[in-house]
């Protein structure tokens, strides 16, 4: 059953703590925290201080999605701040192999994210070191963008690579995931679905989450980590 990772990017940052508490109570499986540096992507969000603050408000796992140049520089601080999993972009460093090992060495799970324009085949020699592949279904930078349809084919390719190599990394899909496409993504093999604007849009989180659960044929209740 696919898990729902709540990206607070579309939430009201003026009440971030309450949003986190409300989301946990609603039953989100984990949080997905989008760190942006204004260079790798054309937007700036937050860093370790805010991750630490979220960490204090929830026991749910924190997946940190680093959209930053030179992710190796920030990785130790992001893990120290409370990331259970840290995903960085293949496009952001010449040494993704080294960084995956380093993140595991820091005691976190290691994830690798790929932009929509990067062939998933480029991940081939990294997959055995990855706990998660974060397949971007929008160009990273903003919540509320439209899902790129080609993602379905990319997901199929990645699932095939995982099977052929006998590997166990999880596949997360990030960007434009709504109840309307969640079922198809889960059916193709996505383990984690990231949602920002589908969860944080003025309606209660519990109600929005229920729509995802229904689309997934899931009776509800957060899954163990
Ligand atoms: C985009 C971020 C996503 C974003 C998803 O750069 O990586 O995690 O918050 O937002 P929605 O679900 O609104 O597309
Ligand atoms: Zn993200």
pLDDT digits (tens, 9 = 90+) for 5-30: 999 999 999 999 999 999 999 999 99
d(CA 92, CA 112): 10
Please say whether the dihedral angle defined by the alpha carbons of residues 84, 208, 196 and 16, taken in this order, is positive or negative: negative
What band does 1 get if pLDDT is binned at 50, 70 and 90? confident
Domains and CATH numbers, the chain: 3-216 (3.20.20.70)
The CA distance from 206 to 3, in Å, is 15
pLDDT band of 220, cuts 50, 70, 90: low
Q: Which residues of 88-121 are buried (b: 16+ CB within 10 A; e: fewer)?
A: bbbbbbeebeebbebbeeeebbbbbbbbeebebe
Closest among 160, 218, 209, 165 to 5, alpha carbons compared = 209
- Mean pLDDT rounded to a whole number for the chain: 96
Ion ligand 2 neighbours (CB, 5 A) are 34, 65, 174
Q: What is the whole-number distance in angstroms between the Cα of residue 218 and the centre of ligand 2?
A: 23
The pair phi, psi for residue 60, each rounded to 5°, is -65, 150
Rounded Cα gap, residues 150 and 119, in angstroms: 11
Q: For the purposes of burial, counting CB atoms within 10 Å of the CB of 33, is it exposed (0-12), middle (13-18) or buried (19 or more)?
A: buried
Which residues line the pocket of ligand 1, CB cutoff 6 A?
7, 9-10, 32, 34, 65, 138, 140-145, 174-177, 194-198
Q: How far is the CA of 8 from the centre of ligand 2 (A)?
A: 10
Phi/psi for 165 (5° steps) reads -90, -5
Inform me whether the pLDDT recorded for 222 exceeds 60.
no
**What does the alpha-carbon distance between residue 3 and residue 26 come to, in Å, rounded to a whole number?**
13
Q: Looking at residues 113-130, what average pLDDT do you find?
A: 98
User: Does 225 score more than 60 pLDDT?
Assistant: no
Catalytic site positions: 34, 174
Between the CA of 62 and the centroid of ligand 2 the distance, in Å, is: 12
How many angstroms separate the alpha carbon of residue 174 from the centre of ligand 1?
Answer: 6
| Residue to substitute in 175, 195, 205, 209 for testing ligand 1 pocket (most ligand atoms within 8 angstroms of CB) | 175
pLDDT recorded at residue 221: 58
User: Tens digits of per-residue pLDDT, 46-68?
Assistant: 999 999 999 999 999 999 999 99
């Amino acid at each position: 059953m696919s898990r729902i990772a709540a990206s607070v990017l579309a939430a009201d940052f003026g009440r971030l703590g309450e949003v986190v508490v409300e989301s946990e109570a609603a039953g989100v499986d984990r949080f997905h925290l989008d760190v942006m540096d204004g260079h790798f992507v054309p937007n700036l969000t937050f860093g370790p201080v805010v991750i630490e603050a979220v960490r204090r408000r929830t026991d749910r796992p924190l997946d940190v999605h680093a959209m930053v140049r030179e992710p190796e520089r920030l990785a130790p601080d992001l893990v120290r701040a409370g990331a259970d999993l840290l995903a960085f972009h293949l496009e952001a460093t010449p040494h993704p192999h080294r960084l995956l090992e380093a993140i595991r060495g820091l005691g976190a799970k290691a994830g690798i994210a790929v932009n929509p324009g990067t062939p998933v085949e480029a991940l081939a020699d990294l997959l055995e070191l990855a706990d998660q592949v974060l397949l971007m279904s929008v160009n990273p930078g903003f919540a509320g963008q439209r899902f790129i349809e080609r993602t379905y084919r990319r997901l199929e390719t990645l699932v095939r690579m995982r099977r052929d190599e006998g590997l166990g990394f999880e596949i997360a899909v990030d960007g434009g995931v709504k109840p309307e496409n969640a079922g198809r993504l889960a059916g193709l093999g996505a383990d984690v679905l990231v949602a920002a604007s589908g969860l944080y849009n003025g309606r209660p989180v519990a109600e929005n989450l229920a729509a995802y659960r229904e689309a997934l044929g899931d009776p509800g209740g957060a899954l163990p980590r």
